[in-house]
Amino acid sequence: MKKIIFIALLALAATFDLSAQQYKVVTSVESIVPNGLGRSRIVNALEDKDYREYTSVQTEEDNTRNKSKRGEIRVKNFEETKLLNFYNLGGIRFQNIAANDALITSMINTMIADGWSLEFVVSAVESEGGKGDGQGIFITRYFFKK
């Protein structure tokens, strides 16, 4: 009897170890272009890509290039959730930031309810580069694991 229970527990433990982890990246892009002229979105790819199909190996002896076209890399199936821009004609809009936070929180809570866990978050900014630039984005990548 003890052997049967031990074998059953061992088989159950092996089942958990065999399941591979899966990662997903969701990106938010928030415009910091003055006067509300930019576009802000949450972007979520709905299809997978194998990076190896678009990777080339380059060494001194062998310069094997991947012949795939850049257009093949593009993902055509994705979700795009509108966000509000940080700026409008009156300057920075804290109400817009709060609205974006509510939408991003909703997205994170939905992902968690769907069995994903938020592993880490990375942010970066490309801000206005000086007089006359008028360009900039605040980008955040959310890394989920299942």
CA atoms of 94 and 102, how far apart (whole Å): 12
Q: What is the pTM of this model?
A: 0.76
The 10s digit of each residue's pLDDT in 97-114 is: 999 999 999 999 999 999
What are the sequence ranges of the domains in the chain? Answer: 21-49+75-145
Q: Which residue has the tokens 């008028």?
A: 134
pLDDT in tens, 88-99: 777 788 999 999
Spans in the chain with pLDDT lower than 70:
1-3, 5-19, 35-36, 62-68, 128-130, 132-134
Q: How far apart are CA 100 and CA 94, in angstroms?
A: 10
